[in-house]
Structure 1
Amino acid sequence: MDGAFKGFGPKAIPFLKALDFHQSREWFLENRDLFEQELRDPLGDLVDTLTQRFADAGLGLRGDRKKSLFRINRDVRFAKDKRPYNRHVSAILSPDGTKMSQGVFYVHIGLERCFADVAWWNPEPALLLAMRKAIATRPDTFRGLAAALKKDRLGLEAEGRMKRTPRGFEHISDPDLAEAIRNRHFVVQHVIDPAGIHTSALVEELVDFVMRSKPLLDWGREIEGGAAKD
């Protein structure tokens, strides 16, 4: 396959460290070729390669190297932190190939850490309510999902979880269900060893992760389909 992912360049992480140190447009423009060679172009290759692999596996996730990559530039309009550049590169593959849909795959290569998510991130209120209702009214289905994820060494992340049970669900007393209903997002995560980003083996690692995450994708898509009909 032309443009098949072969790995991020050996200077990928050192480039991010240097960019974080300088945080200047002048330095970035002087080193733009290095950024493209070590990070941006390989990330585009990864998106294209994963799109094909996800299609072959029937996972319903796709993207392309032009639309799926996030900019290295930060949006600082309303931020206290005015540093102009991110400390990472990232991309999304989604059901429709845009960054706006739910039930997505996200990959993040950065200084602090490298990871991938399969996520229903900050779903709109109607969909989030439908997901919470599904947990409350079909607990066996949700517990089956949780068991399937656990069997494959995954679990829902707690980031953003509410401290109190949302209104309308106060009657849910089972701790596992109440905890899940407090989620604002439904996310499973795979931590990537930074030493492993430099070869094509990363593709197999990420395909394996998404295959293990499929119960979450299927659960969310069924709920999303039902909510769209209501």
Structure 2
Amino acid sequence: MAGAFKGFGQKAIPFLKALDFHQSREWFLENRDLFEKELRDPFGDLVETLTERFAQAGLGLRGDRKKSLFRINRDVRFAKDKSPYNRHLSAILSPDGSKMGQGVFYVHVGLERCLADVAWWQPEPALLLAMRKAIATQPDKFRAMAKALRKNGLELETEGRMKRTPRGFEQISEPDLTDAIRNRHFVVQHVIDPAGIHTAALVDELVDFTLRARPLLDWGRAIEGTVLAA
């Protein structure tokens, strides 16, 4: 049932630990009520509360409890690890409310860590090429965005960065620009203290992070607009 986010249940993380230990459909079905009460339903509340707050802040990100949450079940069709359940639950808020858009907000509650990202993750080739060209041809705009992020306490993540400069950009020699052009994703991350997931204050924390990440959203959206207009 929809409502304002009040925090995840105190048994949210213990549930994930127990599920990871058992990795059993029978155990999950026996404890499904606990999963829904402590983790899934509060996650739905979080998504919908953030949607309202993001709208008020003009961030252009939205979601709902049915479409935005990822399944707790793993897709094991092509995986060596056949464990049926994830060690986390997560959700995406995006410009159109789907999981398919770019320039998204992602939130993750899991055993290893709890985190939030603002991300252009695995952009399709035309958009990724446009981002790389924008870095090469408009370095001042890229550097202004990166500087604004640093001022807000954020840095672009380096996960998945190519070891070599992609073809067509060999002439770029400035280290900050070559590093950026080698990125496959453009992401900033906020680590959430697991102890802080149990109160409504998590909403303010995540809104503050997303506002601080806005320079990345705005930079990517401007480039995306040129791709869509082409």
Q: Is it true that 1:181 corresponds to 2:181 in the alignment?
A: yes
User: What are the ranges of 5 or more consecutive residues in structure 2 without an aligned counterpart?
Assistant: none
Q: What corresponds to 1:152 in structure 2?
A: 152
Q: Distance in 2 between matches of 1:19 and 1:59?
A: 35
* Structure 1 position 228, deviation (Å): 1.0
Q: Is it true that 1:26 corresponds to 2:29 in the alignment?
A: no
Q: Distance in 2 between matches of 1:94 and 1:35?
A: 25
Q: What corresponds to 1:67 in structure 2?
A: 67
- Correspondences of 1:14-163 after superposition (within 5 Å): 14-163=14-163
Q: Distance in 2 between matches of 1:158 and 1:82?
A: 29
Q: Distance in 1 between matches of 2:55 and 2:228?
A: 24
Q: Distance in 1 between matches of 2:102 and 2:206?
A: 19
Aligned residue type for 2:191? V
| Secondary structure of residue in 2 paired with 1:197 | helix
Q: Distance in 1 between matches of 2:61 and 2:163?
A: 32
1:71-116 CA-partner distances (Å, limit 9, x unpaired): 0000000000100000000000000000000000000000000000
Aligned residue type for 2:61? L
Q: Distance in 2 between matches of 1:139 and 1:93?
A: 29
| Secondary structure of residue in 1 paired with 2:198 | coil
Aligned residue type for 2:122? N
Q: Distance in 1 between matches of 2:15 and 2:175?
A: 45
Aligned residue type for 2:74? R
Aligned residue type for 1:91? A
| Secondary structure of residue in 2 paired with 1:15 | helix
1:174-227 CA-partner distances (Å, limit 9, x unpaired): 000000000000000000000000000000000000000000000000000001
Q: What corresponds to 2:171 in structure 1?
A: 171
Q: Distance in 1 between matches of 2:30 and 2:7?
A: 23
| Secondary structure of residue in 1 paired with 2:213 | helix
The number of equivalent residue pairs is: 229
**TM-score w.r.t. structure 1 length?**
0.99
| Secondary structure of residue in 1 paired with 2:145 | helix
Q: Distance in 2 between matches of 1:170 and 1:83?
A: 43
Q: What corresponds to 1:4 in structure 2?
A: 4
Q: Distance in 1 between matches of 2:67 and 2:124?
A: 22
Q: Distance in 1 between matches of 2:78 and 2:39?
A: 27
* Structure 1 position 7, deviation (Å): 0.2
Q: Distance in 2 between matches of 1:49 and 1:192?
A: 18
* Structure 1 position 39, deviation (Å): 0.2
* Structure 1 position 229, deviation (Å): 1.3
